Structure 1
């Protein structure tokens, strides 16, 4: 098979390109801009385009399939040429399905926790010596790439994003995988630029349930009221398996699961992670891994990249970084740190970076989300407003939306860094949350100065 990637440098795209190359496919690709780590990874396998840019002459009739990345435009010259030649054009989720039609497909959906649940499942399956394929949205310790596709594995674990599949396919990605086992971790409005009303967003999860194969199963969080209503109202002919928090204790900053009279101390913490763990456990049980074996293996799970990741710590202080950016993720992450270390002061800083979080009409969704933080900071890089062509708004708008007394707002990374460098971390935790990079602030360098 010969496949060509348009916008090969994307996170999922370059990992899929490598996976197909390893499978024996002839892989080529193009992109107008490439960044690390995709440059190094593509170069390692001889897949890095010789030049940046779009070259319609690369598109010839002997190509079996085009895989189109979200970064490409609908008038991309390579795409236009492929359409003229009648070459089949796939989004990457469509092609993942093409490569996994004969496998058992486990699809992890939900507004939050998808990467962590997927990562937990992969960790346990690997520890149990089970062969599997996968697609996950973060680089994980012990896994070279974010995509694995083989002929041999009989099961594939897929992180099912609800964002759009490609510029010419406006369906959410997780609709295209046709899950045998589906997971929904919860529903909290996100991607407002694509789903302008909460109901239009909820609709996508109703459709996802309908895509689960007729002899399949839905694993879902029963403590999410909105999700519970969606599942109750669905007439899909599938099994339903709810989950909730397991029994646990927190002692000396360590969370321990209690199951069948045994204790399992964990490397991770927070109620949201315990809920994620129960979803992962039920998936693994469906794959014939006993609960006791699951808990034994999960004790060595250190978390997915950028999910409550420890930047540095001392005897009485931690610095965490986390990917949290939506209101539900922000609140859950702050609650997790405050609950794990109740006697420490918590300084929490969130960077609003996504289209949804920056939308002035969406800001009110953040009301009360930072209430548990002793000190709250919000950062919006003024350059982000420019890049996303959003009209800037003043600090007063942000403070009014969060409804948090003494919240401090920054739109200049230098001023934010100056404030962070003043922090006394004695008996204090610092939590930095963003899907961006705080305007280029080096958290490792910050750690060396204040810890």
Structure 2
């Protein structure tokens, strides 16, 4: 099969391209800019475009599938050529469904926790050498690629994102998967640039539940009121399996899960991670993994990339980084950090980086998000606001929306870096929350 990727360099897109190359497909692609690690990984597989840019002449009549990434624009010249030739154009999730339509599809959805839950499931299955196809949104220990596609595997585990599918397909990605087995971890308003109201956002999850195949299974977080409302209002037939935070204790800095089989030591911490773990356990049960086998495997799970991920520093200071780019994620991460490090001085840094997090209306969602930290810092770039064509935001407004008068607020990277240099990284514990990089801050030094 001959495939061409328009915007091949994206985090998701380049992994799919590699998976198809590994499957034996003929793969080509284009992009106007490709950064690391995508560049090196594509080059290693021999599918890195020779030059950057869009080249309509690459689009030929013998291409079986054109896969369109979100990074491309509607007026992309390669897209126009593909339409002119009448080629089949797929969004990323649409093509994944095409690859898995004859398999049992397991889809993990939710505003938060979906990457971690998917990662936990794959870790357990890999530990017990259970082969499945998959797509996950983070690089995992023990896995070469974030996407795996085969002819033979019976199951496909998919991280279900509610964001748009492509520039010409404005449906939420997870609406294209038609799950046989699904999980919903939580609902908290996100992607305000696309979903202008909370109800519009919730509607995507209503449609997701409605897309579960007849007689399917939904594992859901019964501690989330919005999830419960959506599940109770569903009119289609499926089996409902609720889950909640399991019992646990922290002893000498180590988290132990309380189970019928005794205390299970874990390598991760935070109530939200244990809640995610319980959801993963129920999904694994539906895939034939007994609880005893689940606990045996989950003890060695160290977390998904950038989800409370410990950073090895040269000075041996204790520092964790987390993707936490939405208010609910920030609150859960800060709470976990406080619980784990009760006696240490706690520093928390948050970079407001996304369109939503820089929107004054959406900032209301961050109220008290940084409370309980000994030193709380919020950073956002005034230049980023200009690039996104957004109105300026004052540090006073940030403090007001966070309901925290003691916040330190930085609006340019140089000032933030200067403050960082004044801190003794071996005195206290540090939590760095961003989907960016704090203006190029090196967290290892």
CA offsets 1:111-167 (integer angstroms, 9 cap, x no match):
001110010000000001101111010111111111000011111110111100000
- 1:212 counterpart = 2:232: no
CA offsets 1:37-85 (integer angstroms, 9 cap, x no match):
1111111111011111111111111111110000001111110111011
2:37 matched residue in structure 1: 37
Displacement after TM superposition at 1:412 (Å):
1.4
Relative distance call for 1:314 and 1:21 in structure 2 (3 A) is closer
Q: CA contact under 8 A between 1:316 and 1:428: conserved in structure 2?
A: no
2:381 matched residue in structure 1: 381
Displacement after TM superposition at 1:316 (Å):
10
2:345 matched residue in structure 1: 345
What are the within-5 Å matches in structure 2 for residues 32-71 of structure 1?
32-71=32-71
| Residue aligned with 2:444, SS | helix
| Residue aligned with 1:440, SS | coil
For 1:424 and 1:442, the matched residues in 2 are separated by 15
- The TM-score with structure 2 as length reference comes to 0.98
CA offsets 1:342-396 (integer angstroms, 9 cap, x no match):
1112111100001100011111111111112121110002221122221221111
CA offsets 1:267-315 (integer angstroms, 9 cap, x no match):
0000110011011100100001001110110000010011111114799
For 2:426 and 2:129, the matched residues in 1 are separated by 43
1:449 matched residue in structure 2: none
- 1:272 counterpart = 2:236: no
- 1:234 counterpart = 2:234: yes
CA offsets 1:144-195 (integer angstroms, 9 cap, x no match):
1110000111111101111000000000000001111111110000000000
| Residue aligned with 1:443, SS | coil
1:369 matched residue in structure 2: 369
2:294 matched residue in structure 1: 294
- 1:186 counterpart = 2:186: yes
CA-based RMSD of the aligned residues comes to 1.4
For 2:124 and 2:102, the matched residues in 1 are separated by 23
CA offsets 1:224-265 (integer angstroms, 9 cap, x no match):
011111111111200110100111110111111111141110
For 2:202 and 2:436, the matched residues in 1 are separated by 26
| Residue aligned with 1:437, SS | coil
- 1:202 counterpart = 2:179: no
| Residue aligned with 1:357, SS | helix
1:244 matched residue in structure 2: 244
Q: CA contact under 8 A between 2:314 and 2:444: conserved in structure 1?
A: no
2:3 matched residue in structure 1: 3
2:310 matched residue in structure 1: 310
How many residues align structurally? 445
Q: CA contact under 8 A between 1:325 and 1:435: conserved in structure 2?
A: yes
Q: Unpaired runs of 5+ in structure 2?
A: none
What are the within-5 Å matches in structure 2 for residues 10-29 of structure 1?
10-29=10-29
Q: CA contact under 8 A between 1:311 and 1:443: conserved in structure 2?
A: yes
Q: CA contact under 8 A between 1:13 and 1:69: conserved in structure 2?
A: yes
- The TM-score with structure 1 as length reference comes to 0.97
